[in-house]
Amino acid sequence: MPTHPSPTEVDELRRALLAGGAAAMAVGAVLPLVACTAQSPPTEPASTAAAPTPTTPRREIVSTFTTKDGTQIYYKDWGSGPVVVLCHGWPLSSDSWESQMIFLADNGFRVIAHDRRGHGRSSQPWDGNDMDHYADDLAQLLDMLDVKDISIFGFSTGGGEVARYIGRHGTKRVKKAGLISAVPPLMVKTDKNPGGLPIDVFDGLRKAQLENRSQFYKDVPAGPFFGFNRPGAKPSQGMIDFWWLQGMMGGHKNTYDSIKAFSETDFTEDLGKFDVPTLIVHGDDDQVVPIDASARASAKLIKNNKLIVYPGAPHGITDTHKDKLNADMLAFLKS
């Protein structure tokens, strides 16, 4: 067992260092270690050492996954508890749900939201910008995370994504569903859907995007999306800028293709496959997705639903009416 140097031995080492030379350099390198050894108290026997404090197992958080066709999808996974999944609108990202995400996570839920392919921080593939791919990407995410008994909500285009997910993959993982300012059952006017919007409306959106996407993405939130074009409205520049930022993060081709996906996809048969309690929330002054051809029509097709109408509310109620929406979603989740 090693012994500690005596004070005399330490003094001799110091004198050698002062004498200089190679030997002194070597001694100088060793001296601090020797001195520390001389001053350090004996180590306690291992048997008396304190046991390590057990740590709580933590869920590994990965920000992306790759779909079967090689597209990388970004997602957030916040909080812990019963699982809530949120699907965003066009041309936005999961950030558009941030008020609901932080509220629900603070209230004991695990909240998952992804950036749809071609939107936000996800990849921008040339092909696959349609509802079937959106729904299959969502299914792969939920399968990968292996979440069960989820409550899944879709805002605007995200409502179509939720509908097509249930239509294609069923409700084996779903306990409750929600359609918030959502596009189903069908936005465009057809012979079978006389209450829809003329195709010219969506052609106009495509034309505006091709001509000047950045300006278009300023005009939408500054006008009808949040109802800032109504008399007496007080526009929020912050909300307008945030909408523009999210939109511009998406791919030009992807968000262009998505206009067709959200406007011309017929979700009628998908809604007929809803067999879980469903919350439907819509503003009756929604200028983007008019309530009669969307929420009220969906309520007639979904068996077990609760329709809540916000008087005078615009399309973007996740921001303009976030406190009321948060409370209504929480009450639905706890019911």
Residues classed as catalytic: 156, 286, 315
Q: In what order do the strands lie in the sheet with 83-87?
A: 64-66, 72-78, 110-114, 83-87, 150-155, 174-180, 278-283, 305-310
Rg of the chain over CA atoms, in angstroms?
30
Taking alpha carbons only, the member of 315, 334, 139, 120 closest to residue 227 is 315
Taking alpha carbons only, the member of 183, 203, 205, 186 closest to residue 195 is 186
Euclidean distance between CA atoms 158 and 293, whole angstroms: 17
Tokens found for residue 164 = 């097509």
- Measured at the CA of 309, the angle between CA 308 and CA 310, to 5 degrees, comes to 120
CB-side exposure of 306: number of CA atoms within 13 Å? 13
Tokens found for residue 240 = 């307008």
